[in-house]
Amino acid sequence: MKKSLVLAMAMALGVTASAYAANPFSDVPAGHWAYDSVNKLAAAGIVDGYGNGTFGGDRLMTRYEMAQIVAKAMAKGANVDRLAAEFADELDSLGVRVAALEKKSDNVKITGEVRYHYQDNSGDADGYSTKLRSRIWMTGQINDDWKYTGMLENNEDLKNDVGEENVKFQRAYVNGKIGGVAVQAGRYNNKLAEGNVYDTRFDGVQLSYGKDVKLTAGYGKATPSSLVRAKSGETWYADLSGKVGSLDLGAGYYGFKDVEVKGFGATNEDDNIWAVKANYNFGQDFQLGAMYLKGDDMNTNLDDDGYVVTASYKGAKASKVGSWGLVAKYYDQGATTYADHTMNGLADDMLGFKGYSVFANYTFAKNIVGQVEYYDLKNKVTDLKAKTLWSQVVFTF
């Protein structure tokens, strides 16, 4: 056993060695640096030594032997949380529960994601983009009911070399419970109406209640990246969802204040969007869904309603090599039915659009997933057409 470990284990017991009888091990004589600590551990029943009366301090012990010592120390109330987490598998085989200790000793967790993408646009919006996006996620347990999440993001534009890359704090929020209500507050990602209304960061607070029938409501400020519309005022939303057999049902209301639609003179208008949806699950692999959306006219005389039909089959999982999935969508959405669309096509550059998209994803190796997406869209106000081929590889760790 290492010198530092002997001393640390002895100190963790919180009592002095003088209260115990003489050290029983012949190879740890009086005056040895470990005499008092080994005496203390032996008297407390933490270490037993070997059958020949020796402590064996120079011998390399096995992980199982170390786990036995940790288990005995835990039974005596010693603070050995980090050791318990390290030897969790061996302690489990001894029947010692360490889940709570692992949670405590690993309070802060860091994970990451690196994504490379290439986007090629053709038709009336010819051009391409290619970027490398890196994200570092940090989660910390505040107490049994509350935790914190933060995320740093860096985007490197591989198409130019003008030094525009930077690192931003893109997520910083807490999750917890107040009674039976789940709370989320701070800067979090907000995906409204399956992303057909909004899907990007949001500064605000969200409350959720229920399980089989769930009500979610939130208030704050949206930050859309659309080129043809800007929403800089207050935003509020409410979603109600439930399940009837294999049928998932939902309805939502999303209010955006002080909206501007560029080129149509709509400034400081309110856009209140309603959505209803139904998704039917054919077993675990196949799902078919439909959504209807209705927005305000906003004095623009633009199309203010629309729908989306979605069919999906399976889906790639980062932890399962060889897993894959397919998704197909048809869109017909008016200009006032979305604020920041979830797609990687050019919907946010259009004043309403219709068309379709198809996705395919595949897990090449553990935590390495590739995806290809194709969009064929048409602007509902002009004759602009845009076809987009998006490809990406995502590495998670």
Average pLDDT, the chain: 83
| Joined tokens for residue 250 | 């939902």
Helices 3-13 & 63-75 angle (0-180, nearest 10): 20
Residues pairing with 160 in the sheet = none
DSSP 3-state assignment of 230? strand
Does residue 90 have a pLDDT over 50?
Answer: yes
The residue-averaged pLDDT of 176-198 equals: 96
pLDDT at site 102? 47
Domain borders along the chain are 3-104, 107-396
Q: Decide: 83 and 77 in contact? Cβ < 8 Å.
A: no
pLDDT at 384: 87
CB within 8 Å of 243: residues ≥ 6 apart: 212, 249
Cβ contact 148:174 at 8 Å: yes
Contact call for residues 313 and 279 (beta carbons, < 8 A): no
- The CA distance from 132 to 89, in Å, is 38
Nearest to 328 by CA among 288, 358, 373: 358
Q: Which residue has the tokens 């005022």?
A: 233
- Evaluate whether the domain defined by 107-396 bears CATH number 2.60.40.420: no
- Separation of alpha carbons 88 and 73, rounded Å: 14
| pLDDT value of residue 375 | 97
Indicate the SS3 state at residue 76: coil
Can you tell me which residue has the tokens 């980062």? 318
What SS3 string covers 271-340?
EEEEEEEEEEEECCCEEEEEEEEECCCCCCCCCCEEEEEEEEEECCCCCCCCCEEEEEEEEEECHHHCCE
Q: Which one-letter DSSP state was computed for residue 129?
A: E
pLDDT tens-digit readout, 92-109: 766 665 554 444 545 789
Token match 């038709």: residue? 123
Element (H or E) spanning 202, and its range?
Answer: strand 198-209
Contact 375, 123 (CB under 8 A): no
Nearest to 324 by CA among 333, 309, 313, 335: 313
**For 349-388, what is each residue's pLDDT tens digit?**
888 999 999 999 999 999 999 999 999 999 998 888 999 9
Query: In this predicted structure, what is the pLDDT of residue 259?
Result: 79
**What region does 98 belong to: left with phi over 0, alpha with psi -120 to 50, or beta?**
alpha
Percent of the chain with pLDDT over 70: 72
The tokens describing 124, both together, are 């009336």
3-state SS assignment for residue 63: helix
With a cut of 60, say whether residue 313 has pLDDT above it: yes
Closest Cα partner for 41 from 84, 70, 61, 67? 70
Q: Give the model's pLDDT for residue 17.
A: 44
Query: pLDDT (tens digit, 9 = 90+) per residue, 38-79?
Result: 566 666 666 666 656 665 656 665 676 666 777 777 776 666
| Residue 330 vs residues 245, 266, 290, 362: alpha-carbon distances, Å | 25, 28, 10, 22
Q: Which range (266-270, 272-276, 359-363) has the least confidence? A: 266-270
Amino acid 172: pLDDT: 97
Task: Give yes or no for residue 187 having a pLDDT over 80.
Answer: yes
The mean pLDDT value for 158-171 works out to 80
94, containing H or E segment: none
- pTM for the model stands at 0.72
> Greater confidence, 18 or 253?
253
Q: What is the pLDDT of residue 29?
A: 65
Our measurement of the distance from residue 156's CA atom to the centroid of its chain's CA atoms, rounded to an integer in Å, reads: 22
| pLDDT at position 19 | 43
What does the pLDDT read at residue 308? 98
**What does each C-alpha distance from 397 to 36, 131, 372 come to in angstroms?**
44, 19, 21
- Strand-strand pairing, 247-261 and 108-123: unpaired
